Structure 1
């Protein structure tokens, strides 16, 4: 291992070798944009304009963005065949949820937003930046003084570029001078009228590479937007920048150029001197002035002449990767010797520094990917010398345009990093790689001894079974107690922030041939693997070279059969179980149309397979998100056709504008219904100045008798489905309103629960409150819905204060009996912003939303609670494929929740 002192000395020697990133010549400019609009943070657009005299092919051009911390990423790559005509526009817009709301139809959409205080850049097909604008000093993209952020107000405001006298976009190299705030915005698309541009003169940037000491001529093209009727003359003169005449980098030019009448261009050449050693890229300028003839103005008066030193720099891998996501040697030609090939893929391979030369800095990686574009001719264990250009591919340092020489075969592979309980870190305040959890391992060998796949395969492009999310500690990625990560803990709330599970990462199983392409994996599968860390499309990704499945999870995974002397009560959110009629304020489906008759039939069949084959035919089943009694009766009939049971459908309409309700399926062959009634259905509150119902889905109380050991037993079951929590962790009036409504709903139900359990005739009857509570088994820091209904509300852990608990004795949550790693009924992908990597970090989080609260009597009879697995753990493709199954596999994908059952021991009626 190298000492820290020697390492710092090497870094000091390389400190000046940063790449020159010039603005390359292009007639395409950003001319208007907004990064927030009336619909919120995703209501964005970016307007581009071709200010040249000829059509411009922009295939492969990229729209990049930066946040205020300088983390960059590609938002959009323009598809092949995209062309912008002279003076015409191209409109790019965010098509994500609550995205672009303007009336001008965009030409191309992207899906990841730009932060309010970030920046934008336009890159050409080679990756060179051709235009950029920033909204903060910390943005990686900006010119001169950045613009001021327009804040977080959801109004129609943005920035537009000023124009010169001849109608061309102004570009002085200073954002603050070139842009002006506009409100409202007025974007242009390819269908908008094209601008009529006056005759103008422009000089294009130029680039030259030096590999030895030879002199070269660097031509600068000076162009007219259209031919002039008379000769046009213009003065051109060089000016020093990082390249200087005194240092012998180039020869000064001070000349007058004439473009003859009818011609459109001329050339000024500058002699550039070569170099004999590796060194920094340098640049100078050529400036135009004193144009005359032909009624011409100067549109672009200055060009950059970039001298790229491509004499390779001798460097270790850890010097190439550096501390950040972008290599300190990006764009440079490097040579690195005597490194070991650790993994080989179809278009490249990874190399790693041998252990005896490995860096002693944990924040830099000793591995890197060499992109070859086709199958490389190396094998794991080869020792190679590589000369290549350092690239930045989606913020992954890699080597491209490589010359590879194998000097030895069969070398011992470098020691692998072991991922397990402590690495990667589960503490966001002490990440394994400083600012990220994985950057310092990218390109390096990794072993995982106790891995768990936490999601089924996602789809990617034409791959039906692509990446999965995993942990290296053998545990699910569960939602844990605390306020959501990145959300400030409210004043007066004694809770920490939940970590956000930074230890979760992706695995692409087939990239290096560890498994066959399109191999499905169910969540819950455990494995051991060896491989390398990579970084794909903004997400850190583990690519195994070898994987051993320790235990493969199967689907569906049914609950145990009901014990003989037990009554089974269950809950299932059916996920928008709708009929075909659009007779509500909003569609029941949540889409543009209601399902067809065939789709309703298929949904009914899949739910029957789940209730019968996975939940094993509960005696009483609470069902949520059901449109009508008729569609629920159809499910009851389907269950009777599929299984030897008889179910009665029970549903009473509520107040939901999309028509979804709560109800029951009751086995009439085992249960006798005594009474059904809604609780608090007519209660109201002041909703932003309007009187409105508190409950969209009023709780539904079922009182029944069930078989006991000898005779019958009275039981009360309440089906619930409070308001969703999609705005709870946010700020603003909508979040405040939603929190208050959830609080009032829970308080209303708590009052009803207390009245039931203190009613003399129910004093010894088991009471269960079941369903989709849209809340966790602990407080989120704002309103603990489950705690309030159960009588366990703690004001110290909640923003909204209750005072005294309403339910006494408190109810018990049967979720607490479930093994910790199995406590989940819903899978939600959390977006935590740019905290790790280029893109907002997506983390699949398993959480309990579906609960069973038991009174003291029910708790005393409690046998077990089980979740039936058929929806959350399956690959996305399997969810679709299972629709055509003819057995219990048809249950897979029947809902976006996993349902549950609770078994209670039955006792003789005479004991009450």
Structure 2
């Protein structure tokens, strides 16, 4: 459920202070930063400063970032041996594309940037916060009132820390008071002039915990930056905030504090009165003034936090509340007579017995108790727990717990049943109000019809980590409609697709349901019991027991071709490149092209997939192939691996990275009549310039295939229109991409219509196959498949066609595939910070690879199947398959699963 890593302390909000903060390092601080610049979002820097009087070793100090939803991560760690001289600076710059562009050279660089509305922090080697600044209330890093975001304008603007009268960075514990906007910025690095540091005084924040009515002394440390030859004195007085003298919270102090000659520290103590009952946390201030001699005040105000830790008696549902953050956050609570439901290596979950459960469906009756080591309790124990309420990255939990077991073998609370209705499939009516899972966190859940929808992800040192699941036995399919969270365009009669809110993660090993490092293939069905948790920004099911009902085997080949059939297929080979960089952009999509050995390995893996998974199609459309030479190499490899003879056909197009469409044809069975590009020289006006319309011009193959008697003529068009990466976005780039995709489809539709109305082709089967980069339904902008097939509906599309071009319409053989098997690509969609996740990223199964058949071909149609080997395996398995033998080598050969269509082969004379 969670690890024993260092944890972020969260405190109750206090008037005038958004957060009560622990003692901060007096010397190391962030003094200037920008999170966006003239060159864009990566044009950013962070300036850090040593405000002390001695060199500061920063080895292992981390620079962390947070987004607006509190998700944190390390951006940079200072190497061993790095130090900052007194009063001097170090500059860190983003090295990403269009990164830091300032004239002051960065001393160190980092690769992952900061969001416009997030936060920054410095952490020591133990994970303790040294300094932090935020630009939203949702940031995990901030002090007091956060700074306003500077927005998304690409301008030279940032924030700089104010300085005290002594020239030291100002640190009052309130970002809004300590920082000022600067434009332009003026970053400083290790070669910049250091700030001369005169003697200064600082007072550190302090806190005490009240556990009874006894008075408690709260000492405040006053630090002098440099020892002086004579005594240094300063006046110290207390000031009310939420804690007041009049209410009897503490005794006032008005005194002189002296730092003796040759010393650097002194203290002043405030007597805090105890409490008899649970109550709110409070705070007061201690202010320094009138320092003697030339000594300045670097930090003149300290916060004194009075933490009431007398336990509040509460039921679990009163502790959890309705939201991710407990209404009793930071408080000491006592909850009794609850049942242990699950036990993990560092904690356990407890739940209210059924007879005491509350009637509010939006609150949870379960919570996690963090012990940090193996608990001594067992499932079924009845326990009393006194603990502090914490929020571990949006997981409510109890920490620092005292646990008393009062009974063994208690009946477990009734599990919530997750099925085809719970969790909800409708984002407008979620199961927990604003989320689909928050009201179940910590509670028992039973799943009778679960399906694993992705192979194991890989995390850190876990090669087989979490999987995604559904609880209704179905895949996480892309359904009709405009993408969830994208406004439906005006004039489009379509709903929004739901975004599959019912999908969640499963960590099978956390509570020992299965052994660690157990792989699972997507498509595996199961039944399980367990609890709901929240980890790494996503709701997660952790089983206490799980039974696999049917394990999905991989690879999973298509059926054997019937002896009387002809087999036509398609496969996007995922950038099947040569080793030469002789195109405008790299074919690989990365910074380098593959080596000769990598090309040879890719060739062997594709051969295993085509031969072992697709079972040797007679005609195979291939997409994303660099050259005829590499395709010929694949044809030869197939001949070496199987008793077949393939010939490669490819004609270069206009893609600046050199990827093309082509064919592999079994010339031991098929006689090729002709191969030609369609409308290859078509142009369009691309942002004021005339450009080729088709990056990968459609390729028409006419061939004679063996039939029951004699031969049958077929026409096959291989296609690969423009990708849809910008389609669901806004702005000129999205409009341009949508228009190009639409015009490509119009061009292809005219070619299809011309072919199927040609007198000599009236009785010839026609198949249009390949990676259409489009769904089998409209996305609300331009239905590429519908346009090419003659089924375009202007009412469902932003771009209007008028009359359909293709008549009679083609039939999409995808419609014959069982619904749960309709996918050829797996895309993890980031929907933003919605439904209680930050962000909500959901793997979605999509059909991008289609087979459109004319009337003649449909009359001969037998079957369509996708060959499974690339999309359903664990990430680690795909990598391991490269060194495997036989058909297993096929897994991971591409990021698409290919398909085959089998048709009855009748002699042409019978048509």
Equivalent in the alignment of 1:22: 20
Is 1:150 the counterpart of 2:150? The answer is yes
Q: How far off its partner does 1:191 sit?
A: 8.8
Q: Are the equivalent residues in 2 in contact too, given 1:444–1:532 (CA < 8 A)? A: yes
Partner Cα distance (1:100, 1:795) in 2: 46
Is 1:241 the counterpart of 2:230? The answer is no
Equivalence map 1:871-910=2 (5 Å): 871-910=870-909
Q: Deviations over 1:555-591 (max 9, x none)?
A: 0111111112211110000011111111112111112
Q: Are the equivalent residues in 1 in contact too, given 2:310–2:332 (CA < 8 A)? A: yes
Q: How far off its partner does 1:616 sit?
A: 0.8
Equivalent in the alignment of 1:765: 764
Call closer, same or farther: CA 1:90–1:906 in 2, change over 3 Å. farther
Partner Cα distance (1:380, 1:80) in 2: 45
Is 1:864 the counterpart of 2:863? The answer is yes
Partner Cα distance (2:150, 2:742) in 1: 34
Partner Cα distance (1:620, 1:790) in 2: 21
Equivalent in the alignment of 2:275: 275
TM-score (norm 1): 0.92
Partner Cα distance (1:41, 1:753) in 2: 44
Call closer, same or farther: CA 1:331–1:46 in 2, change over 3 Å. farther
Partner Cα distance (2:154, 2:483) in 1: 23
Q: Deviations over 1:340-366 (max 9, x none)?
A: 111111111111111111121111111
Runs (5+) with no aligned partner, structure 1: 1-13
Q: How far off its partner does 1:602 sit?
A: 1.0
Q: How far off its partner does 1:34 sit?
A: 3.7
Call closer, same or farther: CA 1:168–1:838 in 2, change over 3 Å. farther
Equivalent in the alignment of 1:669: 668
Q: Deviations over 1:434-478 (max 9, x none)?
A: 121111111110000000000001112212111100000110001
Call closer, same or farther: CA 1:193–1:330 in 2, change over 3 Å. farther
Partner Cα distance (1:850, 1:283) in 2: 63
Equivalence map 1:366-381=2 (5 Å): 366-381=365-380
Runs (5+) with no aligned partner, structure 2: 1-11
Q: How far off its partner does 1:906 sit?
A: 1.5
Equivalent in the alignment of 1:556: 555
Call closer, same or farther: CA 1:15–1:791 in 2, change over 3 Å. same
Call closer, same or farther: CA 1:429–1:416 in 2, change over 3 Å. same
Is 1:75 the counterpart of 2:73? The answer is yes
SS at match of 1:681: coil
Q: Mean Cα displacement is larger for which, 98-107 or 537-546?
A: 98-107
Equivalence map 1:182-201=2 (5 Å): 182-183=182-183, 185=185, 195-201=195-201
Call closer, same or farther: CA 1:60–1:122 in 2, change over 3 Å. closer
Q: How far off its partner does 1:94 sit?
A: 7.5
Q: Are the equivalent residues in 2 in contact too, given 1:56–1:84 (CA < 8 A)? A: yes
Q: Deviations over 1:59-100 (max 9, x none)?
A: 687846453xxx433233986988874545577778899887
Equivalence map 1:212-251=2 (5 Å): 212-228=212-228, 230-251=230-251
Is 1:478 the counterpart of 2:493? The answer is no
Partner Cα distance (2:531, 2:307) in 1: 32
Partner Cα distance (1:903, 1:403) in 2: 67
Q: Are the equivalent residues in 1 in contact too, given 2:165–2:298 (CA < 8 A)? A: no
SS at match of 1:658: coil
Equivalent in the alignment of 2:385: 386
Partner Cα distance (2:83, 2:316) in 1: 41
Partner Cα distance (1:477, 1:548) in 2: 21
Equivalence map 1:30-109=2 (5 Å): 30-37=30-37, 46-53=46-53, 55=56, 63=64, 65=66, 67=68, 71-76=69-74, 85=84, 87=87
Call closer, same or farther: CA 1:384–1:148 in 2, change over 3 Å. closer
Partner Cα distance (2:233, 2:747) in 1: 84
Partner Cα distance (1:858, 1:303) in 2: 81
Is 1:782 the counterpart of 2:781? The answer is yes
Equivalent in the alignment of 2:649: 650
Partner Cα distance (1:165, 1:423) in 2: 61
SS at match of 1:864: strand
Q: Deviations over 1:403-439 (max 9, x none)?
A: 1111100000011111011111111111111121111
Equivalent in the alignment of 2:202: 202
Partner Cα distance (2:95, 2:338) in 1: 44
Call closer, same or farther: CA 1:343–1:560 in 2, change over 3 Å. same
Partner Cα distance (1:60, 1:538) in 2: 25
Partner Cα distance (1:202, 1:649) in 2: 77
Call closer, same or farther: CA 1:728–1:669 in 2, change over 3 Å. same
Equivalence map 1:277-356=2 (5 Å): 277-293=277-293, 295-356=294-355
Equivalent in the alignment of 1:495: 494
TM-score (norm 2): 0.92
Equivalent in the alignment of 1:365: 364
Q: Mean Cα displacement is larger for which, 344-353 or 259-268?
A: 259-268
SS at match of 1:880: helix
Is 1:457 the counterpart of 2:467? The answer is no
Equivalent in the alignment of 1:169: 169
Q: Are the equivalent residues in 2 in contact too, given 1:23–1:130 (CA < 8 A)? A: no
Call closer, same or farther: CA 1:43–1:704 in 2, change over 3 Å. farther
Call closer, same or farther: CA 1:37–1:730 in 2, change over 3 Å. farther
Q: How far off its partner does 1:639 sit?
A: 0.4
Q: How far off its partner does 1:195 sit?
A: 4.9
Call closer, same or farther: CA 1:139–1:344 in 2, change over 3 Å. closer
Q: Are the equivalent residues in 1 in contact too, given 2:533–2:540 (CA < 8 A)? A: yes
Q: How far off its partner does 1:197 sit?
A: 3.8
Equivalent in the alignment of 1:5: none
Q: Deviations over 1:660-718 (max 9, x none)?
A: 11100001011111111111221222222222211111111111111122222111111
Equivalence map 1:672-691=2 (5 Å): 672-691=671-690
Q: Are the equivalent residues in 2 in contact too, given 1:94–1:113 (CA < 8 A)? A: no
Q: How far off its partner does 1:167 sit?
A: 3.4
Call closer, same or farther: CA 1:394–1:147 in 2, change over 3 Å. closer
Partner Cα distance (1:724, 1:750) in 2: 18
Call closer, same or farther: CA 1:348–1:177 in 2, change over 3 Å. closer
Call closer, same or farther: CA 1:413–1:891 in 2, change over 3 Å. same
SS at match of 2:271: strand
Call closer, same or farther: CA 1:167–1:271 in 2, change over 3 Å. same
Partner Cα distance (1:629, 1:642) in 2: 20
Partner Cα distance (1:631, 1:35) in 2: 44
Partner Cα distance (2:385, 2:95) in 1: 42
Q: Mean Cα displacement is larger for which, 892-901 or 830-839?
A: 830-839
Q: How far off its partner does 1:126 sit?
A: 9.1
Call closer, same or farther: CA 1:39–1:745 in 2, change over 3 Å. farther
Call closer, same or farther: CA 1:174–1:520 in 2, change over 3 Å. closer
Q: Deviations over 1:377-428 (max 9, x none)?
A: 1110011111112221111111112111111000000111110111111111
- Count of residues paired in the alignment: 894
Q: How far off its partner does 1:175 sit?
A: 4.7
Call closer, same or farther: CA 1:39–1:634 in 2, change over 3 Å. farther
Q: Are the equivalent residues in 2 in contact too, given 1:24–1:128 (CA < 8 A)? A: no
Partner Cα distance (1:80, 1:283) in 2: 35
Q: Are the equivalent residues in 1 in contact too, given 2:92–2:106 (CA < 8 A)? A: no
SS at match of 1:509: coil
Equivalence map 1:833-872=2 (5 Å): 833-872=832-871
Q: How far off its partner does 1:315 sit?
A: 1.4
Is 1:635 the counterpart of 2:657? The answer is no
Equivalent in the alignment of 1:795: 794
Call closer, same or farther: CA 1:308–1:614 in 2, change over 3 Å. same
Q: Are the equivalent residues in 2 in contact too, given 1:826–1:846 (CA < 8 A)? A: yes
